[in-house]
Amino acid sequence: MDSSPANKRFAEDIKVSFPLLSDWKRITTKEYGLYNDTTGYGARATFVVDKDGKIQHVEVGRTAIDPSGAYQACDLIQKRKTDATKKP
């Protein structure tokens, strides 16, 4: 739900090059079940999406702030892909 400038700064701070979604109108946050009507805030979440657009991994809460979970998920996706191409 952060603004685009806030996301840009966050990406620079944690040194990532992938795009971060700015959901200023809270549409996606609500659709993904992350919005809390009582507090007016959304839970922080990181989604790892593969090249086919399929969600492969989700981190919700405090762990979503640390990109290492997303990096590990990407490594696992790559490993599965590599292993699949090695099978006869």
C-alpha–C-alpha distance, residues 54 and 43, integer Å: 21
Q: Supply the range of the domain harboring residue 66.
A: 47-88
Which tens digits make up the pLDDT trace of 42-87? 998 888 888 899 998 888 988 887 878 888 888 888 888 777 777 6
Same domain, yes or no, for 38 and 59?
Answer: no
Confidence (pLDDT) at 87: 65
d(CA 1, CA 8): 13
* Domains held by the chain: number: 2
The backbone torsions φ and ψ at residue 7, rounded to the nearest 5 degrees and listed phi first, read -65, -40
pTM, whole model, 2 decimals? Answer: 0.63
- 57 lies in the same domain as 76: yes
Is the CB of residue 73 less than 8 Å from the CB of residue 48?
Answer: yes
Q: 23 with 53, same domain?
A: no
User: Which are the contacts of 12, defined by CB distance < 8 A and separation ≥ 6?
Assistant: none
Residues 26 and 53 in one domain: no
pLDDT of residue 32: 92
Do 27 and 55 lie in a common domain? no
